[in-house]
Amino acid sequence: MRTNFAFAAWPYISLSLLAVGIVVRYFQARKQMEAVSAEVTEAKSVFLGSRLWQTSLLFLLAGHVAGVVLPKAVLWWNGSVARLYILEGAAFAVGLAALGSWLVLMWRHLGESKRSAFIELADTVFLSLVFVGLVSGLLMAVFYRWASSWGAITLAPYIASLPGGRPATRFISDMPILVRIHVFSAFAAVAVLPLTRLAAVLVRGLHFCVLITSRPLTAVGQAIAGWVRRRNPAAWLWPEED
């Protein structure tokens, strides 16, 4: 896995694919939002899963965000051995719960076929990438202990460097292969998302944002047009004859 592509270019490529893909799907479906709403319902049936799946995934995402946004707070928490054990044990238990829930979700998904083979394949690839992320994360916890601490020191600075356009790949290039797979698979899932049913949720969200922003712009345009009509000099320069 070449560092320059996997961790310097691939994050931006995947995010670009996400943005372009959602915009393209929006323009394709902007006049058929009823169909998009139906696809959102299908996406819920495919990806929503059980309450355990939702809760465990939410905790995992929240933990990853906290590690990136608040690395100093994580290190402070881990300053106590007891708190470190609690955090690592809870994270591992949540990861196991998410993996078990994923197995149930994937089994049900493979047993159903409601759309085209392409959509089914895209959903399966996305769920498979989620699986890679879950398994690699659990294996990291087994073989490289105290991931919350060294992740706050290495992975957090790398992720934080991405918005600035200068990815600090030195923080991740020498990390074990499991860590690199974990990060790469996360961005791969982002890149595949526009091809899945789950994209309908983002398309509908984009449509809502367009509606909200277009209303004040339309009102401003109408106000300007009215002002121009009232002050148009053509009305008194060339008055209409009775």
pLDDT for position 38: 81
pLDDT for position 99: 94
- Give me the phi and psi of 80, to 5 degrees please: -100, 130
3-state helix, strand, coil in the chain (%, to 5): 80, 0, 20
pLDDT for position 220: 60
pLDDT for position 20: 92
Per-residue CA distances from 119 to 36, 124, 136, 150, 194 (Å)? 14, 9, 26, 38, 10
Kindly give the confidence (pLDDT) of every residue in the chain, 242 residues in length, as a single tens digit, with 9 standing for 90 and above. Answer: 566 677 888 999 999 999 999 988 888 877 777 777 788 888 888 888 889 999 999 999 998 888 888 889 989 998 889 999 999 999 999 999 999 999 999 988 887 766 677 888 899 999 999 999 999 999 998 888 888 888 888 888 888 888 888 888 888 888 888 998 999 999 999 999 999 888 888 888 887 887 787 666 555 656 665 555 666 555 554 555 54
Domains located in the chain, CATH noted? 4-228 (1.20.950.20)
What's the pTM value of the predicted model, to 2 decimals? Answer: 0.81
- Going by C-alpha positions, the residue among 54, 141, 152, 51 that lies closest to residue 89 is 141
Cα first-last separation, the chain:
82
